[in-house]
Amino acid sequence: MPRYFFHLVTSRLTVRDVLGRDLPNNDAAREHAIRRIKDMLDGKTGKVLNPSTSVVTATDKDGNLYLRVSFSEVLRHLPP
């Protein structure tokens, strides 16, 4: 099972995931990234992030990019 590392990337900083998470595939990694973004938007972190410039990326241990999910993409699919 591949290990994915989920990093928060904003216009001002990058917060790197150093532990990672074992997930079965890229679809599961995408769902995990979306859940993390929703959690951040619901908490204090979401109040200081600019959704138009903030993303969560998932990489392998060598930093190769698997996927990128933007906060604005997740916001577009949330109920009003």
3-53 confidence digits (pLDDT tens):
999 999 999 999 999 999 999 999 999 999 999 999 988 877 666 788 899
Residue 45 has a pLDDT of 66
Residue 67 has a pLDDT of 97
How many structural domains is the chain composed of?
1
Q: Which long-range contacts (CB under 8 A, 24 or more apart) does 58-63 make?
A: 58/4, 58/5, 58/6, 58/7, 58/26, 58/29, 58/30, 58/32, 58/33, 59/4, 59/5, 59/7, 60/2, 60/3, 60/4, 60/5, 61/3, 61/5, 61/20
pTM of the entire structure?
0.89
Q: Which domain holds residue 65?
A: 3-76
